[in-house]
Amino acid sequence: MTKLQVRQAIEQCNERGDKAFVPYIMAGDGGLQTLKENILFLQEAGTTAIEVGIPFSDPVADGEVIQQAGERALAEGITLRKVINELASFKEEVTVPLVIMTYLNPVLSYGLQAIAADCEKSGVYGLIVPDLPLEESDLLKDALKNSEVALIQLVSLTSPAERIQAIAQAAEGFIYAVTVNGITGVRDSFTEGLEGHLQRLKAASSVPVLAGFGISTPEHVQSLGALADGVIVGSAIVTALHKGDFASVRTLIDASKNQVTSI
């Protein structure tokens, strides 16, 4: 299997002169019925792909905004299985690749082979599992090998060169370049050396590199997008959707358009 759905969507976006824009949403924040309306709105607004977060009781990568959204979703009884079933119910209306962000425990509870099969049936073409290290990723990668579902790897700012190389070699879909040391959340500034870090990732990787964590303004989208193949925006999107502030979401997405080719 080529696992090209997400990668091709990003590459086609770059070929048009745009940077990829991948919003993160918390599935079930506001009830399961909001999932379809949010995905179809983001699709219409011009996103490249959509990262669908699954609420989890013990998240390790989520900042306050996403944790609170997860708590609201958990209070609605949202589970990984319910989300995948809901996505399957309107798959024919979705034209952008979906990527699920979850943790290893729900994946194991669901069943490795079952989640591989059900993701494909639901229009999910990528999985992000932040608590699954590269060294232990074969158990999930083996389950996904006969599917079109890519296992997305994360790279931190502190990853040494040899680890970056190993992750780049294993990468499918895109590399998720974490742009801060710490958890998700809105930030005013980014670490010195980030530009060099992203350059090294792009040089090592045969798949696109997307920058994520802390990106929350149109200026961030433009400045970080200029250093990568695109951006992932989480907390700002979650907050705006929770408030019904769709204009702010459109403004963030529009900031990714008509950018010069990344370095």
C-beta of residue 61 within 8 angstroms of C-beta of residue 90: no
Position 28, amino acid:
G
Q: Which residues carry out catalysis?
A: 51, 62
- To which residue do tokens 């999985």 refer? 127
Q: Please report how the helices 34-45 and 246-254 are oriented relative to each other, as an axis angle in degrees rounded to 10.
A: 40
| CATH (domain of 89) | 3.20.20.70
> Phi and psi for 99 in degrees, rounded to 5?
-125, 125
pLDDT tens-digit readout, 41-71: 999 999 999 999 999 998 876 788 999 999 9
Helix 235-243, helix 64-75: angle, nearest 10: 50
* Of 159, 231, 188, 223, residue with least CA distance to 14: 231
For 228-245, what is each residue's pLDDT tens digit?
A: 999 999 999 999 999 999
Q: Is residue 131 part of a domain?
A: yes
Q: From CA 208, how far away is CA 205, in angstroms rounded?
A: 7
87 in a structural domain? yes
* Residue 127 lies in domain: 7-254
**pLDDT score at 262:** 41
| Identity at 228, one-letter amino acid code | A
pTM over 0.85? The answer is: yes
Q: Contact at 8 Å (CB) between 122 and 89?
A: no
Distance of alpha carbon 38 from alpha carbon 193, whole angstroms = 35
Between the alpha carbon of residue 220 and those of residues 5, 206, 231, the distances in Å are 26, 25, 9
Residues sharing a CB contact under 8 Å with residue 261, sequence separation 6 or more, in sequence order: 14, 17
pLDDT at 180: 76
On whether the CB atoms of residues 117 and 69 are closer than 8 A, the answer is no
How many structural domains are present in the chain?
1
Q: How confident is the model at residue 261 (pLDDT cuts 50, 70, 90)?
A: very low
CA 123 to chain centre: 15
What confidence score (pLDDT) does residue 193 get?
A: 79
Residue 2 lies in a domain: no
Largest CA-CA distance found in the chain, in angstroms, rounded: 45
pLDDT of residue 1: 46
State pLDDT tens for residues 145-184.
Answer: 999 999 999 999 888 999 999 999 999 999 999 987 655 5
75-90 confidence digits (pLDDT tens): 999 999 999 999 999 9
Question: Taking all residues of the chain, what is their mean pLDDT, rounded to a whole number?
Answer: 92
Residue among 116, 95, 124, 126 at smallest CA distance from 208: 126
Quick one: pLDDT at residue 214?
86
